[in-house]
Chains A and B, each alone.
Chain A
């Protein structure tokens, strides 16, 4: 019996483990009757099978390649409790609006369950080595995208989670009930440490809570990292004294080695900075290390999602950003850039709500229209503060608060530094717009519709806000999003 059998799971052990090649379905990776355990990790993939490969077999192949299988039968399986370790594809649905009659090749959502014992505790690297390891290059699928994961409480409890979290961050900053305001220093590259600190001081004194290094500001010929840190901390402290508020600057400690990152983080701590920053490109393990360091050193940890769009933007291949949100909450960052809805970067409002909920809620319910495929209990892992950055300005304040809520950092880089009356005025305009809008919201006004009017009312006594609205009031970025929901809510009979 060395020839592949066409269909059906082979239950007879002698047949099943005879040398040769079997279909993945026959090897037991497709189990439509399987009921996932509470402790299983569940992954939801979007699969575009190769021509001639049926959807169940493609799902089984993905399950196999992301768990125990190899291309041929191995007798050594029988030395293990292989039934347990085999991932089980248990459900396959065709994606709406794909396949025959559409312009998109047929795609399938495949639900695959993994036993908890497949993963090392507290290790994103180990989790991802399975789930997005070899399988993405696998020939049986034309394209593959990881859309969502259900992480069981049992596994979440092995992760530290955010070093600080929204609650403690706000308590440390003594700032409650409104979004925080930030800005990224511009130009991104070329300023000397001394000139760079000037921008930080002006923006913080004018009313921002945070200023931020950009993702590619590390230690370049025009500005060494120590100079940047020294001047930025000077600016932060001077601005705190000028305003009586806690202020901060995300000092980017991203560098070539862990040793360098620790050295930079230690220096930031020794200067009294309350927050440091890393880039997503440093890798999952480095992120987890920095999160542990941050927890130990009372430091807020800001993560810039540099690089994510290389794999999160296209709908048919890679992974959805909501999975990155989940992994980063587990890995332990406190801030993560998660979209603006109205700014210059990719972001469908419904999808972004899904990201924000994933980062901030203690429990999220399944909600297909927001791209959430599972109920997820966060097991009291702290809340991550999302950051909205990129092409946003004070004139959009009502929309930003409507879409993003109050637990968010709104970053107005150009919208602060590019203000016609100067950086302080730019910062003041943003802060006045923010406070006026929060006040109106709390008063029960229809602030989304009355937003422009609320801003005009404030602009009457705040000339920096007036100048901001006059300069940017009409700027908007209306492009189609590429990452959109596959499901739209249907109207109920009563609606």
Chain B
């Protein structure tokens, strides 16, 4: 089990807030669309902080006018992967950015086993650290 005060993984923009409602998710997507950003849905069962590439639930969605279509995909992804982490990302294609500008979780597994620190002692007092994923039952 996670030992931080939130007892859950705190990645993304809104992990310290209560889980987002569909209306709140829609408002955030609306914000991204207003900036002209493309929105994508990604999922994983391996939320290691260095796991950059979560699986894409379809390509980022370009040229959309309204959040409803994206919410539809989010809900479809939740139905397919109810026990995965799912995040919504927004991509900015403008010069000098060309990078994600938003990222927030919209789904978590019921149990979040979290991680542990594995230490390998090396020269002197130095330690090589590995963050290792725990699985339910660990």
Q: Would A and B touch once assembled, by the CB under 8 A criterion?
A: yes
- State the A residues within 8 Å of B (CB): 167, 170-171, 174-178, 205-207, 226, 230, 233-234, 237-238, 240-246, 270-272, 362, 380, 383, 424-425, 428, 431-432, 435-436, 438-439, 442-444, 458, 461
**Docked-complex contact A442 and B11, CB < 8 angstroms:** no
Closest beta carbon of chain B to A283's beta carbon, Å: 30
Set A178, A245, A443: member contacting B9, Cβ < 8 A? A245
Given contacts A237-B117, A435-B17, 4 further A-B contacts (CB under 8 A): A167-B96, A207-B6, A237-B131, A241-B117
**Docked-complex contact B115 and A442, CB < 8 angstroms:** no
**Docked-complex contact A207 and B99, CB < 8 angstroms:** no
Report the bound CA distance from A439 to B21 in whole Å: 12
Set B17, B100, B114, B132: member contacting A432, Cβ < 8 A? B17
Closest beta carbon of chain A to B67's beta carbon, Å: 12
Count of interface residues, chain B, beta-carbon cutoff 8 Å: 46
**Given contacts A177-B102, A177-B103, A442 and B129 within 8 Å (CB-CB):** no
On chain B, the residues within 8 Å of A167 by CB distance are 96-99
18 A-B pairs within 8 Å (CB atoms) are namely A174-B52, A176-B89, A177-B101, A205-B5, A207-B10, A207-B16, A240-B131, A241-B116, A242-B2, A244-B47, A245-B9, A245-B11, A271-B126, A424-B5, A428-B16, A435-B14, A443-B28, A461-B18
**Docked-complex contact A230 and B126, CB < 8 angstroms:** yes
- 9 closest Cβ pairs, A-B complex: A244-B9, A442-B31, A177-B102, A237-B129, A241-B115, A362-B96, A443-B27, A241-B117, A176-B103
* Majority SS at the chain A contact face: helix
On chain A, the residues within 8 Å of B101 by CB distance are 176-177
Report the bound CA distance from A234 to B126 in whole Å: 10
**Docked-complex contact B100 and A176, CB < 8 angstroms:** yes
**Docked-complex contact A206 and B5, CB < 8 angstroms:** yes
Set B27, B114, B128, B129: member contacting A244, Cβ < 8 A? B114
**Docked-complex contact B49 and A174, CB < 8 angstroms:** yes
Tell me whether B95 is interfacial, beta carbon within 8 Å.
yes
Interface residues of B in 45-82 (CB under 8 A from A): 47-50, 52
**Docked-complex contact A243 and B16, CB < 8 angstroms:** no
**Docked-complex contact B10 and A436, CB < 8 angstroms:** no
Report the bound CA distance from A207 to B8 in whole Å: 12
Tell me whether B136 is interfacial, beta carbon within 8 Å.
no
Residue of A with least CB distance to B127: A234
